[in-house]
Amino acid sequence: MSDLKKIRAALISVYYKDGLDELLDILKKNEVILYSTGGTYDYICKAGHECRTVESLTGYPSVLGGRVKTLHPKVFGGILARRDDDGDIKQALSYDFPFFDLVVVDLYPFSETVKSKAADEEIIEKIDIGGISLIRAAAKNFKDVCIISSRKQYHSLCEILGANQGATSLEERKDFALKAFEVSSSYDTSIASWFGSTTFLPATEEKEVLRYGENPHQKGYFLGNMKEIFTQLSGKEISYNNILDIDAAIELTKEFEKPVVAIIKHNNACGMAVRENLSDAWKAALAGDPVSAFGGVIAINRPVDESLAQEIHSLFFEVIIAPEYSEKALEIFAQKKNRIILRLDHYPEKKMMYRTALNGMLAQDPDAHKLQPEEIHFVTDKKPTTQEMEDLMFANIAVKHTKSNAIVLVKDKQLLAGIGGQTSRVDALKQAIQKAKAFGFDLRGAVMASDAFFPFPDCVEIAHYEGITAVVQPGGSVKDNESINYCNNNGLSMILTGYRHFRH
């Protein structure tokens, strides 16, 4: 291949040394001259390889506590010099620049330092300057230079050098340059996020290719690291739609302190219940809609034991996620080899939510508000009973996690029906009533939650006719008094939260 370029000189300066030996061996085999800095230089020499210091090239030691090591014309000139430009070659030779054909650099662990809750001073020192500059310079000159920007790429380069007798092709160098700019972008995004920026995509070097997107004709990717959130203990590969439902399930169940079981279908809860023990919670959640539960995602906020696993096992489900499982529980679930069994290790921390729109993106804070007792406005003559109040709080959480327009019906901390995604709130209520009755629920004494205000009293009237006795809604309509007056005239209680929970 005419675009193959032999590697003759390499600059290596890395934070992580693991995996470097394989690369050093193949570079030695191909008689590549090595330059390095600090700890990397020491590592290379101890591994038995010849290496030159960057200081011997530049004539300057590492200064300012290591802040300046590679920032020098002889280093960057040797990377950026265009091999097909006579002017560049003439200048490089006159200033005695080495021609680097390979740059192997990774970056200080900024994100890891942030996650460790380190002091600001330590975090700032993990903002890489020389490394990011070397990566960008080498990637810019991919026509002549191969850039390795992560230890994850060592093995791929070794295979390439082995197949090409120590050379790389233009296509291969361009591919490594793409990966380098992804690393650079992610790194800068992480730093900007720490400083408070909301204008970037989530920072990650991870990109997992999924089987497909929402539908088989769409390509799908996950930009992130699922292993930071949960551990997959069994089952098939997680799909695009699985991830959406898992996210919905986790975000919903983390709002509850008491034992809760939620069954998610198409990002909405089709069944959910809070009980003193998980067995009762499971039975109540499943009773909410045993038809829709088929093929759903089950989320539980307590460890799952053998007894509960036996109860759940009879249902066909796609995914179950819980903080822990007994050995017997795992054996039971593993009888169906495709079941995805996830152990929740950490709740994800969402600083921003992103969504593509038009030719750009929308970004917003997550809807992380949790209703506090002092925020509740009691606006009717009749106050909710203790049981109604517990159900209203449960229902307000449930409706918050249901697609708008949404209506949720709850009784005894059990989801009787939740209908979302409707163009009319009245339609959502009518469908919720019909669904609850279809599964044998008595709505007398139940409560109703709405994700947004009632512009008219019609929903309250319909709910009252069915025996519903208490309502929670954000309020804010110019006609709030019409709904409040209806409640006062008919013995219902209503509370306002002041917080709308649209979920488009």
Structure tokens at 429: 């209520």
* Region(s) of the chain under CATH 3.40.50.1380: 5-195
| CATH class belonging to 5-195 | alpha beta
Q: How confident is the model at residue 478 (pLDDT cuts 50, 70, 90)?
A: very high
373-496 — its CATH code?
3.40.140.20
- Tens digit of pLDDT for each residue in 120-173? 888 888 887 888 989 999 999 999 999 999 888 888 889 998 888 888 999 999
Helix (H, G, I), strand (E, B), or coil: what is residue 151? helix
Comma-separated ranges of CATH 3.40.140.20 domains in the chain: 226-344, 373-496
Q: Which of 6, 28, 126, 140 is catalytic?
A: 140
* b/e 166-184 (16+ beta carbons within 10 angstroms → b): bbbbeebbbbbbebbbbbb
Per-residue pLDDT band for 206 (boundaries 50, 70, 90) equals low
Residue 215 tokens, joined: 């539908």
Average pLDDT over residues 226-252: 93
Sign of the alpha-carbon torsion through 281, 285, 288, 289: negative
Nearest CA-CA partner of 278 in 256, 253, 301, 298:
301
pLDDT in tens, 363-393: 888 999 999 999 999 999 999 999 999 999 9
CB-neighbour burial class of residue 467 (10 A; exposed 0-12, middle 13-18, buried 19+): exposed
Kindly state the tokens that stand for 436. Answer: 């609850």
Evaluate if residue 199 carries a pLDDT over 70.
no
CATH architecture of 226-344: 3-Layer(aba) Sandwich (3.40)
Q: What angle do CA 303, 305, 307 make, to 5 degrees?
A: 145
User: Is 382 noted as a catalytic residue in this protein?
Assistant: no
What's the CA angle centered on 247, arms 246 and 252, to 5 degrees? 100
Q: Which of 266, 313, 382, 437 is catalytic?
A: 266
User: Any catalytic annotation for residue 403?
Assistant: no
Q: Give CA–CA dist 232/177, Å, rounded.
A: 32
Indicate the average pLDDT of the chain.
Answer: 90
Neighbours of 89 (CB within 10 A): 15
